[in-house]
């Protein structure tokens, strides 16, 4: 039995954060009904067309779901959604601030009818406060959380290259729903959960927050290096290759000096004898290391690092990651269906031994309208009438 088998999730969702949370619930066996606008559906469907004509974001976030297309400006459509939610365990939404409440699907209204419902709202900045109504795209939340200020090089700040604020919010929505279901299983009580992108990303900003709040200075932007650990990051080798490494403690530092650089005496150099001093003298340290690496091709440098037990990596591009031998050796790839044919995805990171996660197909917009509405007790004439009333709905 899958962990969430028998759990029904209704999600009024779009873009990244909420779909990421609900896809993970679907991975664990929950039935997830994704409510979309008729026609274009979730606007993330049209971000790009790189996956055989489908959006890369949408493919990532929406396998194993059913799609119900409803124009919630229509009373009949709102009635259908109410009927669907009445039989659900979880309701998730990430509409614009206040939109779910105006439609009648806020936590107070839905949990007033069903106290056992787990209601989860995902927003940019949370309810209350001057930013409640502010638009919140991933880059903008990265800026507001201070992440952009510590990412990049000394010369130029940079955003993180993935939707990290959305992902953080989706992860906390996912874990919050799981926690609420666990409690409900013991008490019968549902939950009202609110997750903001700012607060989710703020949790991930713990190190720089403590560093700045108590240290009195901002972490330095350090590119692929580390603001508080040295040596850490990329180092050039004789053949033009670049090796990434990290030394975490004094035992490793001694092994690194002797076993990798061939300079045992360097471990006691007063400029480098503690991590704090190595950070303070990082430019001199880099010159010493790259001076030694200038006589080593990258593969030999990696071999020495491995032999000394020093953490290291060669930088892969995304294609290199897709072809990673570790993922292949561990059998982490699976195929799943879509409107454009079979696609490939990694298994979810947390897998229960002996249980195969759900890797179901990606739905077309409104693909399951007929089956879901019939299940809710609608007859053919009512289903047709509802569809006709929505034909003019805008995307």
Active site residues: 226
Q: What is the CA radius of gyration of the chain?
A: 26
Residue 389, H or E segment: helix 380-390
What CA–CA distance (Å, rounded) separates 26 from 33?
10
The residues pairing with 91 across neighbouring beta strands, listed in sequence order, are 10, 119
> What DSSP letter does each residue of 55-118 carry, written as one string?
-HHHHHH-TTEEEEE--TTSHHHHHHHHHHHHT-SEEEE--STTHHHHHT-SHHHHHHH-TT-E
In this structure, the strands spanning 65-69 and 31-36 are: parallel
- Residue 75, class by beta-carbon neighbours within 10 Å (0-12 exposed, 13-18 middle, 19+ buried)? exposed
Q: Do 168 and 147 contact (CB within 8 A), yes or no? A: no
**CA dihedral for 274, 260, 223, 154, sign (positive or negative):** positive
Q: Do 359 and 64 contact (CB within 8 A), yes or no? A: yes
**E-assigned strands of the chain?**
8-12, 31-36, 65-69, 90-93, 118-123, 191-196, 232-236, 242-246, 311-314, 333-336, 343-346
């Amino acid at each position: 039995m899958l962990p969430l088998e028998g759990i029904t999730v209704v999600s009024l969702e779009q873009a990244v954060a909420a779909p990421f949370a609900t896809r993970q619930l679907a991975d664990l066996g929950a039935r997830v009904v994704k409510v979309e606008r008729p026609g274009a559906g979730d606007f993330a469907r049209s971000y790009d067309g790189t996956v055989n004509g489908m959006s890369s974001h949408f493919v990532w976030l929406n396998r194993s779901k059913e799609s119900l297309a409803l124009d919630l400006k229509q009373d009949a459509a709102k009635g259908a959604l109410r009927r669907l939610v009445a039989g659900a365990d979880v309701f998730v939404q990430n509409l614009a601030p206040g939109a779910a409440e105006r439609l009648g699907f806020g936590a107070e209204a839905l949990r007033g009818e069903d106290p056992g419902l787990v209601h989860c709202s995902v927003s940019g900045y949370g309810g209350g406060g001057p930013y409640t109504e502010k638009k919140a795209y991933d880059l903008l939340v990265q800026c507001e959380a201070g992440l952009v200020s510590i990412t990049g090089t000394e010369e130029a700040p940079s955003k993180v290259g993935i939707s990290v604020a959305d992902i953080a919010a989706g992860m906390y929505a996912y874990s919050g729903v799981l926690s609420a279901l666990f409690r409900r299983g013991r008490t019968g009580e549902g939950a009202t959960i609110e997750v903001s992108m700012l607060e989710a990303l703020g949790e991930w900003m713990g190190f720089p927050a403590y560093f700045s709040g108590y240290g009195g200075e901002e972490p330095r932007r350090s590119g692929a290096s580390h603001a508080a650990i040295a040596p850490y990051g990329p180092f050039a080798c004789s053949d033009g290759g670049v090796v990434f490494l990290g030394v975490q403690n004094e035992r490793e530092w001694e092994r690194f000096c002797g076993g990798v650089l061939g300079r045992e005496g360097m471990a006691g150099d007063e400029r480098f004898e503690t991590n704090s001093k190595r950070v303070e003298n990082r430019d001199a340290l880099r010159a010493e290391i790259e001076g030694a690496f200038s006589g080593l091709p990258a593969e030999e440098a990696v071999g020495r690092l491995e032999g000394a037990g020093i953490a290291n990596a060669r930088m892969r591009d995304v294609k290199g990651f897709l072809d990673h031998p570790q993922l292949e050796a561990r059998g982490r790839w699976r195929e799943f269906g879509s409107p454009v044919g079979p696609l490939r995805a990694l298994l979810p990171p947390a897998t229960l031994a002996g249980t195969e996660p759900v890797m179901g197909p990606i739905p077309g917009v409104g693909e399951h309208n007929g089956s879901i509405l019939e299940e809710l007790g609608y007859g053919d004439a009512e289903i047709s009438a509802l569809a006709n009333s929505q034909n003019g709905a805008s995307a």
